[in-house]
Amino acid sequence: MTEITCKLLVIGAGPGGYVCAIRAGQLGIDTVIVESTKLGGSCLNVGCIPSKAMIHVAEEFEKAADAAAGRTPFGLTAGAPALDLKQAVAWKDGIVQRLNNGVAALLRKAKVKIVHGRARFRDGKTVTVETETGPRTIKAEAIVIATGSAPVELPFLPFGGNVISSTGALALTELPKRLVVVGGGYIGLELGTAFARMGSKVMVVEAMDRILPLYDTELTGPVSKRLTALGVEVLTGAKALGPTAKGDGLRIETADGKERSLPADKVLVTVGRRPVTDGLGLENLVLDMDGRFIRIGERCETSMRGIYAIGDVTGEPMLAHRAMAQGEMVAEIVAGLPRAWDKRGIAAICFTDPEIVSVGLSPEEAKRAGHELKIGQFPFAANGRAMTRHGEAGFVRVVAQAGSELVLGIQAVGQGVSELSAAFGLAIEMGATLQDIAGTIHAHPTLGEAFPEAAMKALGHALHI
Ligand SMILES: Cc1cc2nc3c(=O)[nH]c(=O)nc-3n(C[C@H](O)[C@H](O)[C@H](O)COP(=O)(O)OP(=O)(O)OC[C@H]3O[C@@H](n4cnc5c(N)ncnc54)[C@H](O)[C@@H]3O)c2cc1C
């Protein structure tokens, strides 16, 4: 068995792991990364990137279908569109492949050694990797666990046949006529909306009393309205029970306790993600856990010296950019730099239609934290750019502490607001006040103008409402 020794071993090459390895390599740390499947992890291969590619396909298809049906207000007409889903999926796969290659090139440039295979801890400094050419032992001074997450499977609705996970949904080469989505969180709604826009009849089954329960109803309102306009039926307070006897749909218990069968060609289960720790040999370590997730401190350190954990395997928020920021930080810690997790906010985005962005505290969270508040909200209906893009639903909301005027949180819902997350994140991270935002010239005409207007509204003098 060949043995490798290194200073840093990273297990898992998702956004957390590969960023950690690249930064460590840049800092001159002798680094090895182990990946059991494809470089880029869930995000690049079956998550963020492929889902956004398919959302784009759906958007373009809907635009063409609207033109064909004479539904545009500006007189655009066209012939009826046809979508070759096989080709769309091949296009998406091509993007993923290019990014896979890009990650490999970046790791090579940083002089990181890539080992393909499944890693298993033997002890706190030693890992065995099952590679194609046999087992390899890797000994390291520091080890980062970045093994990510996988879709939660419901025991009474296991994946297989017509029951698919988000990974299966992103690989469909034929449009399901009827799609039932179990779980009204962001992954289910992003994909459900995309399929509805491509022409599937979509139903969403959500156990809670509303969709996207992590966001307030003001933010989710425009999304719900759009789902209704798309013909998506949302059944809240409803529980999935299992497949129908013939396997042609889903049995559910509705909010009023009645059993109902929903016909479906595919049942997409998106009820959450679980940490990937099976087969990792955690039983050979003494790690404190948070339920099934690995417990970490503010330097992403675990309860064992020299072992760090980052990304989805450490719990919520399970987001790629959090994993990357943690990875970058841990590499610098291993290099001896003084770093700790001191972020003020992590933007969360739902790429639904319209999109939702939230950074920092919501009004409710800020109130619960005991702050006196000044809140300003500016509607896109009063924003020239939103009107010219034919996307007037939604608003930008700024939540600030009364007195200091320190901005505590920023939220928005509207078409294209995901790109505003950069400005929102920067404002929160830099400790901006309402005056800072109101006093920054925002180019005209842009959606971003709604941001200073919301801040001015909170200060009592919005200009355009
Ligand atoms: C459909 C979908 C859409 C999403 N959209 C977004 C989005 O728009 N924005 C966003 O921020 N997040 C999104 N996410 C979440 C995002 O994908 C994750 O937060 C992110 O991938 C977490 O990164 P990670 O590095 O922690 O783990 P992962 O990306 O899960 O990577 C972990 C890697 O570790 C490898 N691994 C596991 N065990 C071992 C082992 N024992 N040995 C070797 N390798 C191992 C795995 O093969 C995997 O490649 C989405 C997720 C899904 C499913």
User: What is the CA 267 to chain-centroid distance, rounded?
Assistant: 21
**CB-neighbour burial class of residue 160 (10 A; exposed 0-12, middle 13-18, buried 19+):** exposed
The protein residue whose alpha carbon is closest to atom 21 in ligand 1 is 43
Cite the residue boundaries of each domain of the chain with CATH code 3.30.390.30: 345-459
- Catalytic one of 371, 442, 444, 461: 444
pLDDT score of 1: 61
The CATH architecture annotation of domain 345-459 reads: 2-Layer Sandwich (3.30)
**Is 116 in the active site?**
no
Residues contacting 433, CB < 8 A, separation 6+: 400, 404, 405, 406, 407
Read off the pLDDT band of 390 (50, 70, 90). Answer: confident
The protein residue whose alpha carbon is closest to atom 53 in ligand 1 is 47
Read off the pLDDT band of 321 (50, 70, 90). Answer: very high
Ligand 1 centre distance from Cα of residue 10 (Å): 14
Residue pLDDT, tens place only, 171-191: 999 999 999 999 999 999 999
Average pLDDT, the chain: 97
Place of tokens 């569109």: 81
- The reply to whether ligand 1 has any atom less than 6 angstroms from the CB of 276 is yes
Closest atom of ligand 1 to CA, residue 34: 43
- The reply to whether ligand 1 has any atom less than 6 angstroms from the CB of 206 is no
Query: Is 2-46+89-150+274-341 CATH 3.50.50.60?
Result: yes
The protein residue whose alpha carbon is closest to atom 38 in ligand 1 is 147
DSSP secondary structure, 115-129, as one string: EESEEEEEETTEEEE
Instruction: Tell me if the pTM is above 0.85.
Output: yes
Residue pLDDT, tens place only, 410-426: 999 999 999 999 999 99
The protein residue whose alpha carbon is closest to atom 12 in ligand 1 is 319
* CA atoms 39, 40, 42, 48: torsion sign: negative
Ligand 1 centre distance from Cα of residue 166 (Å): 12
Residue pLDDT, tens place only, 127-186: 999 999 999 999 999 999 999 999 999 999 999 999 999 999 999 999 999 999 999 999
pLDDT score of 2: 76
Mutate to test the pocket of ligand 1, among 9, 33, 43, 328 (most ligand atoms within 8 A of CB): 43
pLDDT at 113 over 90: yes
Cite the residue boundaries of each domain of the chain with CATH code 3.50.50.60: 2-46+89-150+274-341, 163-271
The CA-atom distances, in angstroms, between 109 and each of 103, 104, 344, 432, 436 are 10, 9, 32, 37, 40
Residue type, 404: S
- The reply to whether ligand 1 has any atom less than 6 angstroms from the CB of 327 is no
Helical segments of 335-440, H only = 363-368, 384-388, 421-429, 434-438
- The reply to whether ligand 1 has any atom less than 6 angstroms from the CB of 43 is yes
Right CATH for 163-271 from 3.50.50.60, 3.90.1010.10, 3.40.50.300, 3.40.250.10:
3.50.50.60
Q: Across residues 263-284, what is the average pLDDT?
A: 98
Mutate to test the pocket of ligand 1, among 37, 120, 147 (most ligand atoms within 8 A of CB): 147
The protein residue whose alpha carbon is closest to atom 17 in ligand 1 is 43
Mutate to test the pocket of ligand 1, among 48, 120, 277 (most ligand atoms within 8 A of CB): 48
